[in-house]
Structure 1
Amino acid sequence: MNDDMTPDQEYDFYAQPENHEPLGPGRRRLTATVPVRFSEELLEQVRNAAAADDRSVSAWIRRAVEHELRHSA
C-alpha cells in the first residue's frame, strides 16, 4: 500500500478481500500519549482538515507532525 492513496483509492484497495490479510508480523508503533491543547479556533481548523482528508483528528495530527519533522532543517 502507498501513503499517497486518496481516500477513494484506499476504499477500493481494502474492498478487495486479498488486502485484508496482514503482510507481516504485527508491530506496535504508538507507545505514548501526549496531551496537547489547542484554541477552539485552531481545533476547528484541525477537525475540518482531518475530515477533508477522511482521517481521525489524531491520525491527521500525527501525519502533520511527521511531515514537519521530515521537512524541517
Structure 2
Amino acid sequence: MSADQNHREMTPEQEHEFYADPANQEPQGPARRRKSPLSTPVPVRFPADLLEDVKRAAEADDRSVSAWIRRAVEHELSRSA
C-alpha cells in the first residue's frame, strides 16, 4: 500500500497495518487548527435510541460524536441564517 492511498479505501485491518509502520505516521502538510478554542462543555441529553443513531452516523463519517454534533449544529445554524 502506498502512503498516498486514500485511507477510506482501506479496511480497518489494512489501516491498522499501514499506520503500525512508523514511516506512515509522519504528518502530511501543515498542521490544522480549530477556528477558535472550544468553550466550556455543554451537557446535552439524548434519548438512548437517538444517541445510538448519532454514534453510528459519527462512526460512518469517521468523526467523534462531539465533532459530528458540532458539525450538525453549524449546518443547522447556517441554514437558518
> Is TM-score (shorter-chain normalized) higher than 0.5?
yes
- Correspondences of 1:1-73 after superposition (within 5 Å): 8=8, 17-19=27-29, 21-22=30-31, 28-73=36-81
Residue segments in structure 1 that go unaligned for 5+ positions in a row = 1-6, 9-14
Bigger Cα Rg: 2
Alpha-carbon separation, structure 1, partners of 2:52 and 2:32: 36
User: RMSD of the alignment, in Å?
Assistant: 2.9
Q: Structure 1, residues 32-62: CA drift from partner, whole Å, max 9, x if none?
A: 2100000000000000000010000000000
TM-score norm. by structure 2 comes to 0.59
Q: In the alignment, what sits opposite 1:3?
A: none
TM-score norm. by structure 1 comes to 0.65
Residue segments in structure 2 that go unaligned for 5+ positions in a row = 1-6, 9-24
Higher relative contact order (CA 8 A, sep 6+): 1
Question: 1:22: how far off?
Answer: 3.2
Percent identity reads 56
